Amino acid sequence: MNKGGNRNTEQLLMERSVPGRVGTVIPVSDVPEQPMPDASLLRTDLDLPEVSEPEVVQYFTNLSQLNFSIDTQFYPLGSCTMKYNPKVNDEMAFLPGFANIHPMQPEEASQGALELLHRLQGFLAEVTGMAGVSLATLAGAHGELAGVLMMRAYHRARGEAHRTKMAIPDSAHGTNPASAAMAGFDVVTLPSDANGNTDLDALHELAGPDLAGVMITLPSTLGLFDQDIVEVCRIVHEAGGLVYGDGANMNALLGRAKLGELGFDVAHLNLHKTFSTPHGGGGPGAGPVCCADSLTPFLAAPMVDRSDDGMFHLVHPESTIGKISAFHGNFGVLARAYTYIVTLGAAGLKSISGNAVLNANYILDALKDIYYLPYDRGCMHEVVFSADWQRERGVSGLEVAKRLLDYGFHAPTMYFPLIVHEALMIEPTESETMTTLDAFIDTMRVIDREASEDPDLVRNAPHTTPVSRLDEAGAARRPNLRWRRPG
């Protein structure tokens, strides 16, 4: 972490502009000069910085280092799986044959890329125990939307358009109810029981002729494996509904449990979490949809199929919900996921879930005497504490998280899931060493001591970052993205 301000970023690029200073040399034109457009289309007052190339490079490099990243710091942001992304994935995605391919190139000239997609469909079907996979969706939430649209199409095709109710647990990621509502479903909340499992009595009450299905996150956002999951699927199926699986956090289950075998009908994966594409800045991502036999005709187009002559083709499933993105999804992300799976192999994938769960439980066990653990049982890939015990001493979960920044750790996810008061959701991921975990645990214990001995120190954190408390809502709603000349 670059502590404090930096000479090279304090002054904005625009403010360093010196008339006549240049950073590029425009080559001599080797094409005939063309007349300029009509003068009314030309601007004379375009404010561009006049700076040298090293100034630009220093400015942006320094700026990039004011931030936290997985490549510089431990990043235990729960539910987001901020793990290390092997650089070889990028190298493969950058191969000219992949990176320079045009999406409208004919199929005969794209066989290698199509084969990669076809193999990836197969790998993901294997991982989830599902029959069909569409790679077209560009994010987890996008996969959810495609998945619930498929559920809607399925019910309509069976003359059951009256199934409009979608039950979603109170611990769900906010995208689940949003996706279901966008697809036209009436969202009803499915409560969790005292152990963090689905409340089966409440599910029985909801399971009627108007139930379209349920959306279940496994493991749940409490980091828990629902011990009744097979029964949940059975109840929903018996009522004629379908079970959607939010598989964004599949690093907990890889090689050990398959959603299809547990009874899920349709699910999405987040390749940019589990299958290692850098993410967090808003994209690009990939949220492939995997489904059971009964739903394959509805998958989003296009998919890749192989004909008897060995050629690969783009195909539209029989009753497809249609195209949901341009072309074939985010190819670069898909190439990274393919590389990741091939380099690890089956045994490597299995060790991901083993280490992810071991690391989270190591933290759970090391901190549960000083941070309140609302669901006191073994967790999966993440552990959700509550800062209630620190709150009693006047220090909130947010302030504990902010204080972590002073020690060089990214904050955990805070105040989510909503059903845990003062939630601190910690996901160490499988890629961190025990040395890092121990350093984090020590720091969490130090912050707890500070909450008793010097609460103001924690309440006013962070003290060492380039900027301290930000107006996050303001930054999201009224972003200031454009430089204006003062005055």
Ligand X SMILES: *Cc1c(COP(=O)(O)O)cnc(C)c1O
Nearer to ligand X, 139 or 420 (CB): 139
**What is the Cα–Cα distance from 169 to 413, expressed in whole angstroms?**
19
Minimum CB distance to ligand X, residue 473 (Å): 19
Residue type, 60: F
Nearer to ligand X, 9 or 79 (CB): 79
DSSP secondary structure code for residue 223 in this structure: S
Nearest alpha-carbon partner for 253 in 270, 236, 277: 270
Minimum CB distance to ligand X, residue 175 (Å): 5
Q: Does 147 bind ligand X (CB under 6 A)?
A: no
215 in Cβ contact with 206 (< 8 Å): no
- Tally of residues, the chain: 487
Of 137-145, 222-230, 341-349, 410-418, which segment contacts ligand X by CB under 6 A? 137-145
Burial class (CB in 10 A: 0-12, 13-18, 19+), 232: buried
Of 139-147, 152-160, 294-302, 345-353, which segment contacts ligand X by CB under 6 A? 139-147
Q: Does 139 bind ligand X (CB under 6 A)?
A: yes
Minimum CB distance to ligand X, residue 79 (Å): 4
Of 10-18, 26-34, 135-143, 389-397, which segment contacts ligand X by CB under 6 A? 135-143
Q: Does 246 bind ligand X (CB under 6 A)?
A: yes
79 in Cβ contact with 175 (< 8 Å): no
Residue type, 269: L
Of 138-146, 252-260, 373-381, 428-436, which segment contacts ligand X by CB under 6 A? 138-146
Q: Is the Cα torsion angle 277, 280, 283, 288 positive or negative in sign? A: positive
Query: Which residues does 115 contact at the CB level (< 8 Å), separation at least 6?
Result: 312
State whether residue 65 is helix, strand or coil: coil
Among 141, 153, 271, 414, binds ligand X (CB under 6 A): 141
Minimum CB distance to ligand X, residue 38 (Å): 44
What are the structure tokens assigned to 155, written together? 């019910």
Nearer to ligand X, 217 or 320 (CB): 217
Q: Does 79 bind ligand X (CB under 6 A)?
A: yes
Total chain residues near ligand X (CB under 6 A): 14
Nearer to ligand X, 269 or 461 (CB): 269
Among 287, 329, 332, 412, binds ligand X (CB under 6 A): 287
Nearer to ligand X, 285 or 317 (CB): 285
Minimum CB distance to ligand X, residue 273 (Å): 6
Q: Is the Cα torsion angle 101, 104, 109, 110 positive or negative in sign? A: positive
Minimum CB distance to ligand X, residue 289 (Å): 13
Nearer to ligand X, 141 or 183 (CB): 141
Minimum CB distance to ligand X, residue 471 (Å): 23
The continuous run of DSSP H or E covering 132 comes out as strand 132-134
Among 114, 117, 124, 140, binds ligand X (CB under 6 A): 140
| Cα dihedral 28, 33, 39, 40 in deg (nearest 10) | -90
Among 248, 269, 344, 387, binds ligand X (CB under 6 A): 248
Nearer to ligand X, 249 or 296 (CB): 249
Among 171, 192, 198, 270, binds ligand X (CB under 6 A): 270
Nearer to ligand X, 89 or 175 (CB): 175
Q: Does 278 bind ligand X (CB under 6 A)?
A: no
Query: Which residues does 310 contact at the CB level (< 8 Å), separation at least 6?
Result: none
Burial class (CB in 10 A: 0-12, 13-18, 19+), 284: middle
Binding mask 361-400 for ligand X (x = CB under 6 A): ----------------------------------------
Nearer to ligand X, 81 or 465 (CB): 81
The continuous run of DSSP H or E covering 205 comes out as helix 200-206
Residue closest to ligand X when measured from CB atoms: 140
Nearer to ligand X, 140 or 213 (CB): 140
Scan residues 214-233 and list those touching ligand X (CB under 6 A).
217, 221
Nearest alpha-carbon partner for 143 in 233, 292, 270: 270
Task: Find the distance separating the first CA and the last CA of the chain, reported in whole Å.
Answer: 35
413 in Cβ contact with 425 (< 8 Å): yes
Burial class (CB in 10 A: 0-12, 13-18, 19+), 356: buried
Angle at 432 between CA 427 and CA 436, to 5 degrees: 100
**What is the Cα–Cα distance from 94 to 434, expressed in whole angstroms?**
33
Angle at 206 between CA 205 and CA 208, to 5 degrees: 100
What are the structure tokens assigned to 183, written together? 């697809």
Binding mask 166-205 for ligand X (x = CB under 6 A): -------x-x------------------------------
Of 39-47, 223-231, 244-252, 364-372, which segment contacts ligand X by CB under 6 A? 244-252
Nearer to ligand X, 59 or 68 (CB): 68
Q: Which residues contact ligand X (rule: CB under 6 A)?
A: 79, 139-141, 173, 175, 217, 221, 246, 248-249, 270, 285, 287
